[in-house]
Amino acid sequence: QVQAVESGGGSVQAGGSLKLSCVVSAYRYSHRCMTWFRQAPGKEREGVAAITTSESTTYYAYSVKGRFTISEDNAKNTVYLQMDNLKPEDTAMYYCAADSQYNPCYSGAWYQPKYFGDWGQGTQVTVSS
């Protein structure tokens, strides 16, 4: 069963913007740590940004801080990633995921894939120079 579904990816030029959405199963949305990950071909999956669905506390990787904004809407069971001033290095498949055992956002482990068990199918983001 798909627990998260991403959308909003596409192809843009450097400096452009995209907004990604992740719809999460309602019964698994509350009190979760939700993280946006990305993975380029031949590279490791890395955490980009995270948010707690209870307090809406946010976390960001240094490489995207100031350019990306993560948010969530409890009523719609949806997590968003607003991506501004995109760079070619941002090109990757983007995934959203929910923690599988405990909330890693509270322990500083929001960016580690091993703590997440519910993954979306991914949405491609391509940024050209």
Q: What pLDDT digit, counting tens, does each position of 56-83 carry?
A: 999 999 999 999 999 999 889 899 999 9
Q: What percent of the chain has pLDDT over 70?
A: 95
Contacts of 45 by beta carbon, 8 Å cutoff, 6+ apart: 37, 38, 39, 95, 113
Distance CA 78, CA 98 (A): 12
Distance CA 32, CA 100 (A): 9
Flag whether pLDDT at 14 surpasses 70: yes
Q: Tokens standing for 79?
A: 């997590």
The alpha helices in the chain, defined as continuous H runs, are none
Q: How confident is the model at residue 28 (pLDDT cuts 50, 70, 90)?
A: low
Strand positions, DSSP E, the chain? 4-7, 10-13, 18-24, 33-39, 46-52, 58-60, 68-73, 78-83, 92-99, 116-119, 123-128
92 vs 117 pLDDT, higher one: 92
Burial class (CB in 10 A: 0-12, 13-18, 19+), 129: exposed
Q: What is the chain's mean pLDDT, rounded? A: 92
Q: What pLDDT digit, counting tens, does each position of 102-121 carry?
A: 789 999 999 999 999 888 99
Flag whether pLDDT at 1 surpasses 70: no
Distance CA 124, CA 40 (A): 10
How much is the pLDDT for 31?
78
Mean pLDDT within 22-47: 88
Distance CA 122, CA 103 (A): 22
Mean pLDDT within 77-104: 93
